Structure 1
Amino acid sequence: MRARAGNRFLQLNVDAVSDEVRNWIQIKGLPEHGPGWAKLTRSAPFSNLDAPVSVRTRRVQDDESLLFGSMMCKGFNFPPSLAALWSAIVGKEGWSCFFALDDETPIGTGAMYVSGSYAWLGGGATVPEFRNRGVQKALIQARADCGIAQGVLTFVVETEVPSIGKPNISYDNLRKMGFQHAYDRKNFKL
């Protein structure tokens, strides 16, 4: 692993691992990195989310996959080289990808992966000048509607763990929309 470029991380819920795993992390001297991830869940149905009517959403078309991947990378400050990774999920089995629109211009992204009665929501990014206008609420509603139509009963999502004194709009929006905090995962640098 050390011969490859880039950082490697182990993510886990330290409250759920064995003492053996905790000891291994300590023996290896793996440092914690960043605030970690809060995992949240919500059961279907989604009703009365009050998504703003001014923000429309639509499915991403196959020929828009590169735009989708590029927007996600820009929104999350990922290297542009990862655009191909995120572009590759558009149109793939189990995946549903969405744009939020200003008129007909994409201004936000959201992805959903469905497996049985469960769905993971991710890739929620908004073009900076359109933030704080309800874009992500509209995208969450669109993905929830799509998932429920496919038989999803439980939705899961993660966002950065809230830190004292640091606003976390993503976490706050998810909680306002009925998602419940399930657990936290810490990042350990390998």
Structure 2
Amino acid sequence: MIITKPAFVDRLEEAETNMLSSRLRAIETIDGNSLGVAIETFGQAYAFSAKRMPGPAFNTVRGLHKEEERQIGEIISFYEKKELEPQIQLVPGAAGSKVMQALCRQGFCQTGFHSVLAGRCSRQVEERHERIAIRTLKLEDYRLYGHIYTESFGMPAFFKESVATNNAVLHEERNWTFYLAEVEEEPAGVAALFTSGTIAVLAVCAVLARFRTQGVQQALIARRQADATAAGCTYICGQAGFATTSQRNMERSGLQTIYTKALWQRVS
């Protein structure tokens, strides 16, 4: 069992921030930054943006502490100049009431919660998943990755190529590993692992609808736990919507909820 302490929360947040920064810095190199990636810091806060990838995944503010209260106007201006609406993630104990009041004055309100889970790395017995085979992706596999990812999340088919490109650019990055899960030799799911010092991050997981409830996600978690252990990591963490299947699968795999983030957005 992990005892939650502010210093450990800071380490988990740093690993997640490093992951997003690594991803966007790589995407920035594609076609002369055709997707309009920009990253700015405001004190301890990071403002991530991707002009041509609207939505909260890449247009988000992380690490906002009480000390950044007076910089909230500048942060919002950073996004307004790009005609983007950010999602602001607030970590319990880090952002105080003045930060929330300042966000309210800018038209923001809390719109959701996100669970952050963590556990100690361990080599799980992957033989439990006898019908499921997992291997790392080859460079030629990223079109398949794009297909599984977009279909799993119900995204329009025309996103397949961009998803493939935006992940293939990370293929040679030493901190990233991508996985394909097959059920009886049929592609069923994909996942990624990012390592940041002694902390590994369950970066993404997508399972095709017809293969859900068959243990694919848990098998992908187990493989990533084993690889994180082999890479010298001490802890592994991940994020999930509160009380979702993803959260339950992480808990079944030995992770526990460490804290719940508040998600803030501006509503019209």
Instruction: Settle same-fold status: TM greater than 0.5.
Output: yes
Deviates more, 1:132-141 or 1:5-14: 5-14
Q: 3-state SS of the aligned residue for 2:108?
A: coil
Partners of 2:242 and 2:90 lie apart in 1 by 13
Partners of 2:166 and 2:262 lie apart in 1 by 24
* Structure 2 counterpart of 1:131: 212
Q: For the structure 1 residues 85 and 50, does the alpha-carbon distance in structure 2 shift closer, same or farther, using more than 3 Å as the test?
A: same
Unaligned runs of 5+ in 1: 163-167
Give the structure with higher Rg (CA): 2
Distance apart, 1:4 and its partner CA: 4.3
Partners of 1:66 and 1:36 lie apart in 2 by 32
What are the residue-to-residue correspondences of 1:137-156 with 2, within 5 Å?
Answer: 137-156=218-237
Structure 2 contact 88–265 (Cα < 8 Å) conserved: yes
Distance apart, 1:5 and its partner CA: 6.1
* Structure 1 counterpart of 2:190: 109
Partners of 1:19 and 1:178 lie apart in 2 by 33
Higher helix share: 2
Partners of 1:78 and 1:12 lie apart in 2 by 27
How many residue pairs get aligned? The number is 184
* 2:129 pairs with one of 22, 45, 52: 52
Q: For the structure 1 residues 77 and 91, does the alpha-carbon distance in structure 2 shift closer, same or farther, using more than 3 Å as the test?
A: farther
Q: 3-state SS of the aligned residue for 2:151?
A: helix
Q: For the structure 1 residues 30 and 51, does the alpha-carbon distance in structure 2 shift closer, same or farther, using more than 3 Å as the test?
A: farther
Distance apart, 1:157 and its partner CA: 0.1
Higher relative contact order (CA 8 A, sep 6+): 1
Unaligned runs of 5+ in 2: 1-78
TM score, norm. by length of structure 1:
0.85
Structure 1 contact 97–112 (Cα < 8 Å) conserved: yes
Identity of aligned residues (%): 21
1:16 equivalent in alignment to 2:83: no
Distance apart, 1:66 and its partner CA: 2.6
Render the CA deviation track for 1:64-84: whole Å, top value 9, x for unaligned: 123213322332334516513
* Structure 2 counterpart of 1:25: 103
Runs of 4+ in structure 1 over 3 Å off: 2-7, 46-51
* Structure 2 counterpart of 1:36: 113
1:97 equivalent in alignment to 2:175: no
